């Protein structure tokens, strides 16, 4: 049976600045999705939040880019925005960049990660959702899961994984894409995805030579760039991703292992700083210090005829305590650099913040050397 998993997110208002989502916003979105489930159009759904981002996890048979499912998410965000406006939440409607829905969410503000798959005999999936960072924050953990045998011994041990994987990488500035095979092309892959503001892992597939696995996506990441749509800084493009696990794919523990190191990502305060990505529980997905540090949550589900059995809160668990401790140590270290790079993002990445306005004013006073 073909099932589509759609994860669609938007920041439609924060409770006390950019910190978290008011429960009434989640409840409002939940009512819209519940009606859709009762009418049989959605198989199942789960509403959650990371920081100020409202996340809708939906399963259905409408396929990817369905105008029905995208329209439903838009309606849920619009209704939640009405509540956010009534409460005067911060940045109410922040990510709804267009006035009306026109058939697809692409270019409208919300972030979208979707995959249409043939549900396997047992289909474990993990949905990862981040706040105070950008899609490129997924590059390193996705690489580790699917291409690094020091993270994923299954690449060596499991004959079904031995052929490796195929990465679909998007250049979100030149609007091009390239497919690269691992392990053969890992140097080329890393040459691109190390530049995580520009080259983003969009999807991963099993290797084409792997006859035991269907050539379907096994991971997908949202890549929506808000500033490109709005033409100015309107918050970071806090991303979401879906990863399938087990039976010829990384085991759930190998998937989670990729988040055991709090790597540096861009985002954090005013979307203008580098900081560690801290794995947390849903309960702790509430940025605070310096509007961060950037956070990631992971929810595990077993699909059962499209039903979302779960969720299992995957990253809140004790085994990640030391990752969080390290993230907090890095937080102290980075913060002491104040407004200096590389804590503050490099000049070219500050282009869509309000910094150029300040610099422009000073240009008038510049004299030739």
* Chain-centre distance for alpha carbon 219: 11
- Pick the closer one to ligand 13P by CB: 68 or 87: 87
User: Is residue 233 annotated as part of the catalytic site, yes or no?
Assistant: yes
Catalytic residue among 181, 233, 291, 313: 233
Catalytic residue among 236, 291, 313, 352: 236
d(CA 67, CA 65): 6
Close Cβ partners of 332 (under 8 Å, ≥ 6 residues apart): none
- Pick the closer one to Mg ion by CB: 11 or 116: 11
The binder of ligand 13P chosen from 114, 224, 291, 313 (CB under 6 A): 291
270 binds ligand 13P per the rule CB under 6 A: yes
Q: Applying CB under 5 A, which residues contact Mg ion?
A: 11, 14, 18, 51-53, 91, 131, 235, 238
Question: Which one-letter DSSP state was computed for residue 274?
Answer: E
Helix (H) or strand (E) holding 57: strand 53-60
Q: How many residues does the chain have?
A: 369
52 binds ligand 13P per the rule CB under 6 A: yes
d(CA 339, CA 345): 9
Minimum CB separation from Mg ion for residue 240, in Å? 11
User: Is residue 236 annotated as part of the catalytic site, yes or no?
Assistant: yes
- Pick the closer one to ligand 13P by CB: 22 or 132: 132
**Three-state DSSP string of 119-145:** CCCCEEEEEEEEECCCHHHHHHHHHHH
Minimum CB separation from ligand 13P for residue 266, in Å? 11
Contact 315, 283 (CB under 8 A): no
- Pick the closer one to ligand 13P by CB: 127 or 255: 255
247 binds ligand 13P per the rule CB under 6 A: yes
222 binds ligand 13P per the rule CB under 6 A: no
Catalytic residue among 9, 11, 205, 225: 11
Nearest in space to 186 (alpha carbons), one of 146, 216, 131: 146
Nearest in space to 77 (alpha carbons), one of 120, 32, 36, 14: 32
* Residues 135-164: x where in contact with ligand 13P by CB under 6 A, - otherwise, as a string: -----------------------x------
Minimum CB separation from Mg ion for residue 238, in Å? 4
Minimum CB separation from ligand 13P for residue 170, in Å? 20
The binder of ligand 13P chosen from 97, 190, 229, 251 (CB under 6 A): 251
Number of residues in contact with ligand 13P, rule: CB under 6 A?
Answer: 20
Residue 251 contacts which entry, Mg ion, ligand 13P, none (Cβ below 5-8 A, type-dependent):
ligand 13P
Phi, psi of 326 (to 5 degrees): -65, -40
Residue nearest to ligand 13P (CB): 235
Instruction: Pick the stretch among 188-196, 244-252, 310-318, 359-367 that binds ligand 13P (CB under 6 A).
Output: 244-252
Instruction: Pick the stretch among 136-144, 231-239, 275-283, 361-369 that binds ligand 13P (CB under 6 A).
Output: 231-239
Close Cβ partners of 39 (under 8 Å, ≥ 6 residues apart): none
Minimum CB separation from ligand 13P for residue 217, in Å? 18
- Pick the closer one to ligand 13P by CB: 52 or 62: 52
d(CA 56, CA 33): 9
Contact 218, 207 (CB under 8 A): no
d(CA 164, CA 146): 8
- Pick the closer one to ligand 13P by CB: 103 or 253: 253
Q: What residue has token string 């033409």?
A: 231
d(CA 94, CA 168): 29
Question: Which one-letter DSSP state was computed for residue 283?
Answer: T
Judge residue 56's burial from the number of C-beta atoms within 10 Å of its C-beta, 0-12 exposed, 13-18 middle, 19 or more buried.
Answer: buried
Minimum CB separation from Mg ion for residue 295, in Å? 10
CA distances from 335 to 54, 310, 347 (A): 28, 37, 18
Residues near ligand 13P (CB under 6 A): 11, 18, 51-52, 91, 94, 131-132, 158, 235-236, 238, 246-247, 251, 253, 269-271, 291
Mind telling me the catalytic residues? 11, 233, 236
């Amino acid at each position: 049976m073909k099932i589509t998993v759609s994860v669609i997110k938007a920041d439609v208002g924060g409770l006390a600045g950019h910190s978290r989502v008011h429960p009434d916003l989640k409840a409002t979105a939940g009512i819209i999705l519940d009606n859709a489930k009762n009418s049989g159009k959605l198989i199942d759904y789960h509403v959650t939040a990371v920081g100020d981002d409202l996340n809708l996890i939906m399963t259905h048979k409408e396929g990817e880019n369905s105008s029905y499912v995208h329209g439903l998410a838009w309606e849920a965000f619009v209704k939640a925005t009405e509540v956010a406006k009534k409460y005067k939440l911060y940045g109410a409607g922040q990510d709804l960049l267009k006035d009306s829905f026109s058939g697809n969410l692409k270019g409208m503000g919300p972030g979208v990660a979707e995959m249409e798959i043939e549900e396997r005999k047992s289909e474990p999936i993990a949905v990862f959702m981040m706040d105070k960072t950008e899609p490129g924050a997924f590059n390193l953990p996705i690489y580790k899961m699917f291409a690094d045998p020091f993270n994923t011994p299954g690449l060596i041990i499991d004959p079904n994984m031995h052929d490796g994987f195929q990465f679909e990488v998007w250049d979100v500035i030149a609007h091009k894409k390239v497919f690269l095979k691992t392990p053969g092309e890992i140097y080329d892959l890393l040459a691109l995805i190390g530049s995580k503001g520009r080259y983003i892992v969009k999807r991963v597939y099993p290797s084409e030579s792997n006859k035991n696995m269907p050539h379907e996506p096994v991971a997908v990441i949202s890549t929506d760039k808000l500033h490109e749509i709005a033409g100015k800084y309107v918050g970071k493009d806090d991303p979401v991703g879906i990863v399938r696990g087990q039976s010829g794919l990384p085991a759930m523990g190998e998937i989670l292992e990729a988040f055991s190191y709090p790597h540096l990502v861009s985002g954090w305060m005013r979307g203008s700083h580098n900081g560690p990505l801290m794995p947390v529980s849903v309960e702790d997905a509430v940025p605070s210090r310096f509007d961060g540090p950037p956070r990631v949550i992971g929810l595990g589900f077993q699909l059962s005829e499209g039903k979302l059995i779960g969720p299992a809160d995957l990253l809140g668990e004790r085994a990640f305590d030391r990752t969080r401790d390290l993230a907090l140590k890095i937080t102290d270290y980075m913060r002491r650099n104040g407004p200096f790079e590389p804590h503050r993002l490099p000049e070219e990445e500050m282009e869509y913040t309000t910094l150029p306005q300040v610099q422009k004013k000073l240009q008038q006073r510049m004299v030739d050397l």
